[in-house]
Amino acid sequence: MEDLAVSAPSVGPACRSCTAPLSHIVADLGMTPLANSYVEASQLSASEPFFPLRAFVCERCLLVQLEEFESPESIFTDYAYFSSYSDSWLAHARAYVEAISERLGLDGSTQVVEIASNDGYLLQYFKARGIPVLGVDPAANVARVAVERGIPTEVRFFGEATARDLAARGVRPRLLLGNNVLAHVPDLNDFVRGLQVLLPPGGVITMEFPHLLRLMTENQFDTIYHEHFSYFSLIAVEQVFARHGLTLFDVEEIPTHGGSLRIFARHGREDAPPVSGRAGALRAREADAGLRRLATYSAFDEQVKRTKRALLRFLIELKEQGKSVVGYGAAAKGNTLLNYCGVGRDFLDYVVDRSPHKQGRHLPGTRIPILHPDVLRETRPDVVLILPWNIKHEVMEQMAHIREWGGRFAVPIPEVAVHP
Ligand SMILES: [Zn+2]
């Protein structure tokens, strides 16, 4: 079973940014299966591989990261996440396309390349504006969907080799973007070197990723999962880009995934656009929040354990009262939370999810069945625990009808809370 082989490092883990040895733990979430390995009904009698889920912080460059343990091919080549299924995510993509097209003056003469373009949900908006696009994505099943909707897509991993091939074929992106890919890259230096290689003079890179500052201040430990290798502060990400001759000239804080950064980069040897004051201000806020002190990272591990105890107390109390509880959203973050806390079908009867690609499958590890949201009307649960807490308002609006039978919503993060 070559594709499931564990490629454990032969010595202790080394920082994937600066290669310093890692010894400082930020969160130890025990043994869990891969968060996106949904289990088919036919596989329910088979075992699943479990892997340690531990986040370290590098004492030298302060990058928070998981140790590498699993071949990326088996994680991403049949990726179940189809971006197009979230309304709020599509709205976010559309707003970004409008803003960046204006800011960079993109038109029919400029090319846009997106790395991890998924099913083309974002590039479709550039295409609609007459801007030539190219997607790059290693997951053949989602890339096929993109091609069907007219988005040319290269099915391969991005790194220096891919960048050299594309550049040799005349690909010259005025805008080179990647949303929620940087955190998932196993070979971070190869990836960023690839960005530098593919970016022509005068080109701009934008990358979005969850912001470590928000993860730590808002207790978002459930966003730690195996497919998510790196957890960036601005302090840490700037060092990776600088190592490859790229300068961050601007940064925006955006609300997606519980709070993300959108960084803007260009070749360091160019002097335009000028570096905005926002980068310096954010760097200072990260320092004020303690992100330059190792003690801050150590305290996080204890907070995670407290959260587990509180969620279990909440669920145990509901079950003792004879209440029925189900989950909403078969998202990766829910899988980290449920596996770490040991919450299975003894607490949640099922979870519902709008994606037809997940319905009929089961959550990894906990084996909780994933059903269509209409099942809520039939079974009338007392409490719906919203696992993707970052879209809780959208979910509560879509599922408002649970109040017809006295159903209530709860969210587990930052601390377990009921929404009446
Ligand atoms: Zn490091």
If you measure from the C-alpha of residue 312 to the centroid of ligand 1, how many angstroms do you get, rounded to a whole number? 35
If you measure from the C-alpha of residue 262 to the centroid of ligand 1, how many angstroms do you get, rounded to a whole number? 21
CA distance 249 to 188: 20
Angle of the 188-198 helix axis to the 234-243 helix axis, nearest 10: 60
Query: Which pLDDT does position 9 carry in this prediction?
Result: 43
If you measure from the C-alpha of residue 294 to the centroid of ligand 1, how many angstroms do you get, rounded to a whole number? 13
If you measure from the C-alpha of residue 236 to the centroid of ligand 1, how many angstroms do you get, rounded to a whole number? 8
If you measure from the C-alpha of residue 18 to the centroid of ligand 1, how many angstroms do you get, rounded to a whole number? 4
If one counts every other C-beta atom within 10 angstroms of the C-beta of residue 400, the result is 11
If you measure from the C-alpha of residue 17 to the centroid of ligand 1, how many angstroms do you get, rounded to a whole number? 5
CA angle 241, 53, 318 (to 5 degrees): 125
If you measure from the C-alpha of residue 65 to the centroid of ligand 1, how many angstroms do you get, rounded to a whole number? 9
If you measure from the C-alpha of residue 158 to the centroid of ligand 1, how many angstroms do you get, rounded to a whole number? 22
If you measure from the C-alpha of residue 291 to the centroid of ligand 1, how many angstroms do you get, rounded to a whole number? 14
CA distance 34 to 18: 26
Query: Which pLDDT does position 74 carry in this prediction?
Result: 59
Q: What is the pTM of this model?
A: 0.89
Query: Which pLDDT does position 6 carry in this prediction?
Result: 42
Query: Which pLDDT does position 2 carry in this prediction?
Result: 37
Rounded to whole angstroms, what are the CA distances from 109 to 7, 127, 130, 152, 343?
A: 44, 12, 9, 17, 53
Query: Which pLDDT does position 82 carry in this prediction?
Result: 57
Report whether 416 contacts 347 (CB < 8 A).
no
Tens-digit pLDDT profile for the chain (420 aa)? 334 434 444 456 899 999 999 999 999 999 999 888 899 999 999 999 898 999 999 999 999 999 877 555 555 544 545 555 677 789 999 999 999 999 999 999 999 999 999 999 999 999 999 999 999 998 888 899 999 999 999 999 999 999 999 999 999 999 999 998 999 998 999 999 999 999 999 999 999 999 999 999 999 999 999 888 999 999 999 999 999 999 999 999 999 888 999 999 999 999 999 999 999 999 999 999 999 999 999 999 999 999 999 999 999 999 999 999 999 999 888 999 999 999 999 999 999 999 898 999 999 999 999 999 999 999 999 999 999 998 899 999 999 999 999 999 999 999 999 997
Look up residue 346 and give its DSSP letter: T
If you measure from the C-alpha of residue 57 to the centroid of ligand 1, how many angstroms do you get, rounded to a whole number? 8
CA distance 223 to 53: 12
If you measure from the C-alpha of residue 4 to the centroid of ligand 1, how many angstroms do you get, rounded to a whole number? 27
Angle of the 294-320 helix axis to the 332-341 helix axis, nearest 10: 80
Query: Which pLDDT does position 110 carry in this prediction?
Result: 97
Query: Which pLDDT does position 73 carry in this prediction?
Result: 57
If you measure from the C-alpha of residue 20 to the centroid of ligand 1, how many angstroms do you get, rounded to a whole number? 5
If you measure from the C-alpha of residue 21 to the centroid of ligand 1, how many angstroms do you get, rounded to a whole number? 8
If one counts every other C-beta atom within 10 angstroms of the C-beta of residue 229, the result is 24
If you measure from the C-alpha of residue 377 to the centroid of ligand 1, how many angstroms do you get, rounded to a whole number? 50
If one counts every other C-beta atom within 10 angstroms of the C-beta of residue 160, the result is 19
If you measure from the C-alpha of residue 358 to the centroid of ligand 1, how many angstroms do you get, rounded to a whole number? 36
The secondary structure of the chain in percent helix, strand, coil, rounded to multiples of 5, reads 40, 20, 40
As given in the structure block, the two tokens for residue 393 are 């308002």
If you measure from the C-alpha of residue 174 to the centroid of ligand 1, how many angstroms do you get, rounded to a whole number? 30
If you measure from the C-alpha of residue 82 to the centroid of ligand 1, how many angstroms do you get, rounded to a whole number? 32
If you measure from the C-alpha of residue 1 to the centroid of ligand 1, how many angstroms do you get, rounded to a whole number? 32
